[in-house]
Every structure is written in C-alpha cells, then in structure tokens.
Amino acid sequence: MGYDDVLIRLGDFGKYQKIIYFLICLTSIICAFHKLAGVFLLAKPDYRCLLPFEDPNSNATEYELKGNIKHLAYPKDTLSDKYVSCRYYNVDYSEEYLNQSEPFLGNGSRPCERYVYDKSKYLNSAVTEWNMVCGRSFMAAASDALFMSGVLVGSIVFGQLSDKYGRKPIFFTSLVIQMTFGILAGIAPEYFTYTASRFVVGATTSGVFLVAYVIAMEMVGPKKRLYAGIFVMMFFSFGYMLTAAFAYFVHDWRWLQISLTLPSLFFMSYYWIIPESARWLLSKNRREDALANIKKAARFNNMEISDEVLNQLLDEGKEEVKENKDESPPATQPSVFDLLRYPNLRRKTLLIFFDWFVNSGTYYGLSWNTSKLGSNVLLNFVISGAVEIPAYTFLLLTLNRWGRRTILCGCMLTAGVALLLTILVPKDMNWLIIALAMIGKLSITASYGTVYIFSAEQFPTVVRNVGLGASSMVARIGGILAPFFNMLADIWVPLPLIIFGAMAFVGGLLSLLLPETHNRPTLETIADGEQFGKTPRPNEYLENGRELKSIDSNYHETRPLNAAAKNSHENSNGQEKY
C-alpha cells in the first residue's frame, strides 16, 4: 500500500492531519462567496421607465408613483394584469393629461430610455448600474454563465498544473490571481471588464479549492475519506449562508464584491503552515522532502516511526507499482470513446452524463433562483444554504448502508416531485412555493453528493479518470445553462422550478436503469464494465469476449486495485461540485 500504510502509522487522521484539514476546509468558504455572490451582485429589483417629466438627477425620484400617474403612463398586460415595465405611453405628460381619468392611447407606447429602480430591497447592483433589464436582461444571465465557464476551464487548467508543478505553488498562485481579479471585478468601469474578471475568478475557485482539497485528501487515511469529503462540503454550505451576512451589512454591490474577496488575504498565511503533499513529492521522486513532511506530522501526533520502517513501507509501495508496470503490456491512452463503443457501457455512460447535467444545473439553478421567489430574499438565501447541512448529514448516515442507486434515485425523484408541485400552488401562497423549492434544494444536494461516488464505481479502472472528467464537463454545461433557465421566472415565477423538477424527476427514473454498485467488486476492465448490470443471452459474452479482451489488453492498469486505491475512489465524494 505504500503511503497509505504510512498514514495509518501516523494515526490515520491524527491531530496534525485534523488541523491541516480544518484550515483547508476554510478555503471552501471563500469559494462559496464567489460562486453565490452573483445572487446579490446581479440582483434585479422591480423597475419601471423614467417618465419624461421626471428629473433623473433628483433624489426625490421614487419607484412608487403616486395617484393616477402609473395608470396613465404604463400599458397593462392583459394576461398577467400587471403594468409593463419596459414601455410607457408615448404622450405629452402635461398637467392636463395627468389629471384625466383615462389615458389617450392614440400615439401607442415607446420603449424605456432610462429606468427607475425599487431600492427597498437593494441599494444597487450591477444590473441597475448598467441597466441589464428588458432587452438587455440576457446580459446578467450571460455573466453568470461565463463565470461557470471559468470554473470549467479552471478545473482543467489548474488540475493539470498542480499535477506538474505541485499542489502548494498552484494553490497560492490561484489565490493571488483570485484576489487581483476579485477586486478588479469590484472596480470594473463597465460590463465586459466585470464579466471577464468574474470569469477568471470562477477559474481560480478550482485552483484554490480543488487543489487545496487534494492536499487534504492525500493526508487522510482511507477509512476517513468519506467523512472528510462530506464535511468539507458542509464548510461550503457555511460559506453559502455567510454570503447573506455580507449582503445584509454591505449594500453597495461594488463594496460587496471587494468585501467577499478580501478574506482571501487570510489564506496567504498558509504558505508557512500548509505542507506540500507528500504523496505528490513521492510521485516526483522528491523522497527527502516527503520524508521531512511525514516526520513532522509524526512528531506533532506524538507517534514514533523509525526511518527504517518508514523507508520499508514506502519501498514496498514503490516495488508494488513497479512490479505491476513491469508485468503489464504497453499502455494505450484511454479516451471517452472507449465508454461509448459498447452498447451496455454506452447506455450507462449516457445515463451518468445526464445525471451530472441535471444535478449541477438544478443545484446552481435553485441556488441562484432565491431572489426570484419573492418575500424576504436574504432569508430565502440563508434557508437555501442551511438545508444543505441535513442533506450531507443524511449522506453520512446512509451512503454506506442503503446503496448508491437507492439514494440517488430517491433524492432526485423527491426533488422532482417537490419542484413540479409548484405548478399547483395558488399565487397568494408564495410561502408554499418557497417551502417546495427548499425541499427540492435539500434533495438535489444529497443526490449531487452521491452521484460522484456512484459514477466512480460505474466506470472501469482503466477509464475511470476519463469518465469522471467527461462527467464533470457535462455537469459544467448544466451550470452554464442554469442562469438562462432562471430568466424564465420573469414570465412565470415557478417556471424555472418546473423545468428543474421535470429534469430531476426524469433523471431519477432513468437512474433506476443503472446497476447498484454498493458492496460489488470493483470494475477493472472494459469487459467488466460492459458486462456489469447486463443479463447476457446464451453465448453472447463468448461471442464478444475476444474483442473486449483485445481492447483491455491495450491498458496496463487492468490489475485489481489495492485497498488504498479502492478506498480512494469509493470514499471520494462530490468534490467536483466545486
């Protein structure tokens, strides 16, 4: 087992690992700040056209119009029975006209040139500053979508850089970039600078959190990785709720963006605290540096481990890897096409892709949609973050008891039913829409935490990383589209919830077609993946087995996983969400 044996000798999850793990968990809080800040930075309050007789520079200009003016100035939508916000009557707003009882409609209406915003909930936002309403409303959704595009790019770029140059330097490089562009987003003079800066910040959330997360998980023993993976998500949920506290005290959107960025300065002190991953150092043959880190942890944990024992354990792991490589034929680079080449494996892969798309799109869609639910926006936002805690607690208690498919399907179906029920809620029962949305959020959070481990166990070892990487990219597409789904709330408030609910419900039903993986042998080869969950007809496997075996022989990683590797993928849980 090598390094995992060393971790067990160090106490598996000793005092030293706990401290480092806690410090790294704090980084997920600032990632939550940046991922959820858009709810307030791009908040869209109620608005109307600035009428010709109103002085735009006067502080007396208010959103609410007095007397009969609104009736005389704005057309009314016959379907919604609401005044149109993007047009006003094209008339001479003389005193005589404003004193009449019925509007003169001979000249029709015209689009707004300036706007007046309701400041009862938000002092301002990027939307109100750059008038991203009416025909420009897509710009706010595009900004959030580009932020998620940055997350996708960052997960690819910073992941590869951390493997090449080390976890620690990439973590701090990402942190500096995040602070720089986070502040630049707060002082951006126009929309394009703001959106480009937010794109870079989105990319660095991967560099800051995912890289730090890898450092933490590489220090945790196999038996603790499930709990470590879930507790770090709880810290993300705490950062989710804390974002509302910043928004409560900081009302100007520019200062809010800067305030959410400045806490990153605290993490610069980690340079003298957080060690480089010993596992990465060993993989790069920097043995002396790795031994120094291991000995430091041993001293802190009051554990005694001699150089002789330490070298013996590491040499055993090294010899095991060398032996397996020597016995294997030359490797062929795996690709996503290997998952799509055979019918049963292709069917399962496409189902998994759809689950990732639905979970990511629904999770972020519901998280960003709280401002559209009405009532107290801050309270809705806090509740939306708070319901994640019982969701993760539920996973801790059930993930290794009830089975992956049961939890994934059950949670997605629950989310789907709760969100679809919003169709039946009367307009005057907004509290019930909020309650159903929160039930949906709780359920989709639990299913999102399950889909990672379930997917890892569905893919064979030889293409597992490829499969999870492709799944993560599909998930990002769901997050990119979520803001555009939320735009439909302008037509009907429950409409985005209905779309998310329909996707979750369909995803839950389709997931029943996937085989259960809990307490099943680890899939090693393409042939294993193709046959798993399939009931073959007589002689079918014999007919296809020769071809599948030929494919498998091109990969050198067809040997059984050792215990450490099994625990690594079985107990990893949900970090791709971030």
Nearest to 347, CA basis, from 536, 526, 530: 530
CATH superfamily placement of domain 1-44+127-319:
MFS general substrate transporter like domains (1.20.1250.20)
Nearest to 150, CA basis, from 35, 244, 291: 35
Q: Which two tokens stand for residue 338?
A: 């290997």
Supply the pLDDT for residue 324: 47
Residues of the chain with CATH 1.20.1250.20: 1-44+127-319, 333-532
Per-residue pLDDT of the chain (578 residues; tens, 9 = 90+): 456 666 666 666 778 888 888 888 899 899 999 999 999 999 999 899 998 888 877 665 677 887 778 888 888 876 667 788 898 988 888 877 777 766 666 577 889 989 999 888 888 999 999 999 998 999 999 999 999 999 999 888 887 788 788 888 888 999 999 999 999 999 999 999 999 999 999 999 888 877 777 776 666 766 777 777 788 889 999 999 999 999 999 999 999 999 999 999 999 998 888 888 777 787 778 878 878 877 787 777 777 776 666 666 556 545 444 444 444 444 556 677 878 888 888 899 999 999 999 999 999 999 998 888 877 889 999 999 999 999 999 998 888 888 889 999 999 999 999 999 999 988 888 889 999 999 999 999 999 988 877 887 888 877 777 787 788 889 999 999 999 999 888 888 889 999 999 999 999 999 999 998 887 877 777 888 888 877 655 555 444 555 555 555 555 444 444 333 444 444 444 455 55
C-alpha–C-alpha distance, residues 391 and 24, integer Å: 22
CA dihedral sign of residues 125, 130, 134, 138: negative
Supply the pLDDT for residue 101: 66
Is 550 exposed, middle or buried (CB count within 10 Å of its CB: 0-12, 13-18, 19+)?
Answer: exposed
Supply the pLDDT for residue 470: 85
Supply the pLDDT for residue 563: 38
CA dihedral sign of residues 85, 91, 95, 100: negative
Nearest to 561, CA basis, from 439, 464, 426, 425: 464
C-alpha–C-alpha distance, residues 135 and 473, integer Å: 30
Give CA separation, 330 vs 333, 524, 553, 556, in Å: 10, 17, 9, 6
Which residues on neighbouring strands pair with residue 89, listed in sequence order? 109
Topology given in CATH for the domain delimited by 333-532:
Growth Hormone; Chain: A; (1.20.1250)
Supply the pLDDT for residue 542: 46
Q: Which helix (H) or strand (E) holds 473?
A: helix 464-486
Which residues on neighbouring strands pair with residue 183, listed in sequence order? none
Nearest to 102, CA basis, from 76, 121, 123, 122: 76
